[in-house]
Structure 1
Amino acid sequence: MIEETTQALTEFTRRYCDLWERECGHPPASSELTGVPSPCTQETVQDEIYWLPQPFTLAKNLDAVERALDLRIQPAVVAWYTAQFAGDMTATLAGQTFTLLQTWSEEDFLRVQENLIGHLVMKRRLKHSPTLFIATTSSELEIVSVCNLSGEVFIEQLGTSQRTPLAPSLEQFIASLTPSRGL
């Protein structure tokens, strides 16, 4: 599961970077990440940084999340957050646009784990099954999550148990995405 998800994410990232190179003549660019240290930063041009994915240099686990909640995390989600350092990427599926959340640096990896813990604590308090977010949508009330029990990927309405299925697995979700430069 880890290897398949890592390969799918690596392939998607390659297609995403190729799209930027083809359409803009440079690697993916971000104004939000300007000045935020990362091994991904290639060049700063005016108010944007150009970035490329880099190898993940930490232990490939989410042990802090697992220990905090006494919960074993879906291996595919572990792969999602530990396959690489990269900027967030935009993708479409069935006419909907998503921002795929990635780990930008070693420091960012700590923040991601803290946010996952907070999300799982909220799910526990609401007595909902555990989910792990992997992407955002255009709505502040919806996120793309992976069910920690089944591995299914869906759009989740925050604060509710309402879910819209997207794919039976994270690997299949990634494979069905079309890279986009976003808005």
Structure 2
Amino acid sequence: MIDETARALVDFTRRYCDSWIEACGHPPASSELYGIPSPCVQQTTGEEVRWLPQPFTLAKNLENIERALDIRIQPAVVAWYTTQFAGDMHVRIDGQPCTLLQVWSEEDFERVQENLIGHLVMQRRLKQSPTLFIATTQSELEIVSVCNLTGEVILEKLGAKGRKVLAATLEQFLVSHVIDTER
């Protein structure tokens, strides 16, 4: 599961970068990541950074989360956050813009793990099944997550029980969504 997800993510990222280069003449650009150190930075122009993915250089696990919460994380989610350093990537899900979250640097990896722990603790308090977020939407109350019990990619409303299945696996999710370079 880890290898399949890693391959799907690397392939998606390659297609994403190729789309940017074809549409804009340069690698993906981000104003949100401007000034934040990362091995991904290729060029800084004006108030944006242009980036390309780089190999992940830390241990490829989420053991800090697993130990903190006595939980076993879906292997696909481990692959999602430990395959590469990259900028966030924009897609359309059911026509709606979403941002696929990626780890930008070693420091960012620590922050992501802390945020995932906070999310899982909130779900425990609400007696909800565990999910791990992988993308944001335009709504602050909706996120795209992986269900830690089934491995399904879902659209969920924070604090609510209703969830919409988007794909059976993370690999299927990556193959089925439209890259958005118009952000």
TM-score normalised by the shorter chain: which range applies? Answer: over 0.9
Corresponding residue for residue 143 of structure 1:
143
TM-score, length-scaled by structure 2: 0.98
- Alignment correspondent of 2:109: 109
Report the number of matched residues.
183
CA distances 1:20-79 after superposition (whole Å, capped 9, x unpaired)? 100110000011111100000001011111100000000000000000000000000000
Measured at CA, do residues 139 and 46 of structure 1 come closer, stay the same or move farther in structure 2, by a change above 3 Å?
Answer: same
Q: Does 1:65 align with 2:65?
A: yes
Segments of 4+ moved more than 2 angstroms: none
Name the structure 2 match of 1:87: 87
Equivalent positions of 1:19-58 (< 5 A) are 19-58=19-58
Query: Structure 2: which amino acid aligns with 1:97?
Result: P
Normalising by structure 1, we get a TM-score of 0.98
Give % identity: 70
Tell me if structure 2 keeps the 8 A contact 1:20–1:28.
Answer: yes
Distance (Å, rounded) in 1 between the aligned partners of 2:117 and 2:94: 30
| Structure 1: tracts of 5 or more residues without a match | none
Cα deviation 1:94-148 (Å, max 9, x = unaligned):
3122100000000000000000000000000000000000000111110001100
Q: Equivalent residue for 2:97? A: 97
| Contact 1:132–1:147, Cα closer than 8 Å, also in 2 | yes
Partner SS state of residue 73, structure 2: coil
2:164 is matched with: 164
Q: CA deviation at 1:93?
A: 2.9
**TM-superposed deviation, 1:165:** 1.0
What 5-or-longer segments of structure 2 have no aligned partner?
Answer: none
Structure 1 vs Structure 2 CA RMSD: 0.8
